Amino acid sequence: MKLVIGHLYPRLMNMYADRGNVICLEQRCRWRGIDVEVRSLGPGPLHNAAELDLLLVGGGQDREQLLASRDLVETKGPVLRDAMRDGLVALAVCGGYQLFGEYYRDHTGAELRGIAVLPAYTTHPGEGSRRCIGNIVTMWKGKKLVGFENHGGRTYLHDTAAALATVKNGFGNNGEDRTEGAQWQNVYGTYLHGSLLPKNPAFADHLILQALQRRHGAASLPPLDDAVEASAHERALKIAGR
């Protein structure tokens, strides 16, 4: 079996070591004997989107996020939306999450358009407002997800949207409604850095399994020795006071 991972804007959107998510998925596949290919997807036309099984994008600073937004909306958006409607598994973190929503409105009122795959929008409450920063613990499918968040924008989900997780400790989407992230079909948005997947191997395997089942039909994942990952997860829980 083989999976193809697309790393979207690896140079523009790679804050807080989000590249670790790509490395994690690649390694967890290889340890199980699954052939994996990682493709760097920079600005410009996207060819062969149907060959992608997993898509990952991280966070970026304002200038880089602006450049990514323009390319995403004007060039890659239609192709990626079609692929995600067809079941492409995608994980978007922080700024990438915002760009997968409808728009991000900054503290001046200027808007960055997103590709509106996730039914959510993001606004910045204004210059001088408190950032959402710190260790975070959430509940996802009865399991704890741990990470680190650092974002000024507040994301709000439409009534039809599903959150990825529920906040136990931290801010999450907006610090108000205890939602964290969003999901639609096999597309997931989140504010959790860390990197997220190395500290949360169950979620990493969830993404891999979804990708395998979409591409190859019935599939299962043999367990791995996750002692190191479990130790990192528990350490993150202690730091967060949970």
Q: Active-site positions? A: 94, 193
How far apart are alpha carbons 51 and 71 in whole angstroms?
20
How far are the Cα atoms of 69, 93, 163, 200 from residue 234, in angstroms, in the given order? 36, 22, 24, 10
Q: Are 199 and 147 in contact (CB under 8 A)?
A: yes
CB neighbours of residue 232 within 10 Å: 17
Burial (CB < 10 A; 0-12, 13-18, 19+), residue 238, is exposed
Q: Is 80 helix (H, G, I), strand (E, B) or coil?
A: helix
How far are the Cα atoms of 111, 211, 225 from residue 9, in angstroms, in the given order? 20, 21, 31
Q: What is the DSSP letter of 15?
A: G
Containing H/E element for 231?
Answer: helix 227-239
Q: φ and ψ at 136, to 5 degrees? A: -135, 140
Nearest alpha carbon to residue 161 among 116, 206, 208:
116
Q: φ and ψ at 71, to 5 degrees? A: -70, -40
